[in-house]
Amino acid sequence: MKFTIKTPAEQDAMRRAGRMAADLLDFIEPHVQPGITTDELDRLCHQHMLEVQKTVPAPLNYRGFPRSICTSVNHVVCHGIPGDKKLKAGDIVNVDVTPITDGWHGDASRTFAVGTVALSTERLINVTYRAMWLGIKQLRPEAHLGDIGAAIQQYVESEHFSVVREYCGHGIGRTFHEDPQVLHYGSPGTGMKLQAGMTITVEPMVNVGKRHVRLLPDGWTVITKDHSLSAQWEHTVLITDTGFEVLTLGAREREQGPPQ
């Protein structure tokens, strides 16, 4: 398994990249309104990265992906390609961004409500957000990868939702995706032990219906097989000597802190 331990200087570089990802999501949030297309969200993010942040969009042309961000609407689980369909009130959309700063990747995503959504939809968003944080709170040196997935799976299933198993978090640094794979299900005390200096993403995908998914013919877009709603949240996290540091906190999270 090939993973990297970041030096103190490299950790600072990852902090800068993580802040860029968080700031980009803060920038795009007010634009997520009924009537906008996901292509327009992509254009706005692309322009902000190149002209304001002076960063590079990692997804663009990554293994052939045609856009600068991923936008996954309603029953799209992940890797949705921005297009010309307009968002409407009641939709949800996950916006996944990865700006590159001085060669380092900051990776984060949020699920946004478009206009007013049903209470059941709001609950899905909130459960997924809390599940991500429950996974993050397992992080410390000598913790096992399985501890992350177990905490997420136990909570999500107790809320009568399901966890997608085919897609997972990952190590990150100078490379977009590196080891280890970070599963969002599993058993505590299993898998490799974490080490200080590792940087990983925790990014659970949670479905209202069953966990099963299907890849569309475009080779990227993943949907729920039963067309039930799906939500996702993602943070990039540094393992520290005493626990963890979330590198992609948005302005609201920096002010309010994680959920209790």
CATH code at position 181: 3.90.230.10
- Please report how many Cα atoms fall inside a 13 Å half-sphere around the Cα of residue 173, on the Cβ side: 19
What is the C-alpha separation between 174 and 98, in angstroms, rounded? 12
Paired sense of beta strands 162-163 and 178-182, if any: unpaired
Kindly state whether residue 3 falls inside one of the protein's structural domains.
no
Strand partners for 95: 71, 110
pLDDT at 144: 97
pLDDT for the residue numbered 243: 97
Q: What type of residue is 121?
A: T
Establish if 250 belongs to a structural domain: no
Please give the tally of structural domains in the chain. Answer: 1
Domain containing residue 73: 8-245
Q: Is residue 251 part of a domain?
A: no
> Would you say residue 214 lies in a domain?
yes
pLDDT confidence of residue 35: 98
As a whole-number percent, the residues of the chain with pLDDT over 70 amount to: 100
**Helix/strand/coil for 54:** coil
Residue stretches of the chain with pLDDT short of 70:
1
Is residue 218 a part of any domain in this protein? yes
The whole-angstrom separation of Cα 142 and Cα 136 is 14
Determine, yes or no, domain membership for 254. no
Is there a domain that residue 23 lies in?
A: yes
- Rounded CA gap, 182 and 186, in Å? 10
**Predicted local distance difference test score (pLDDT) of residue 104:** 98
2 assigned to some structural domain: no
Tokens 């042309």 correspond to: 61
Angle, CA of 244, 248 and 249, to the nearest 5°: 90
- Which amino acid, one-letter code, is at 10? E
Integer-rounded Cα radius of gyration of the chain: 17
The reported pLDDT for the residue numbered 1 is 62
pLDDT value for 171? 97
Half-sphere exposure of 158 (CA within 13 A, CB side): 9
Q: Evaluate whether 14 touches 236 at the Cβ level (below 8 Å).
A: yes
pLDDT at 257: 87
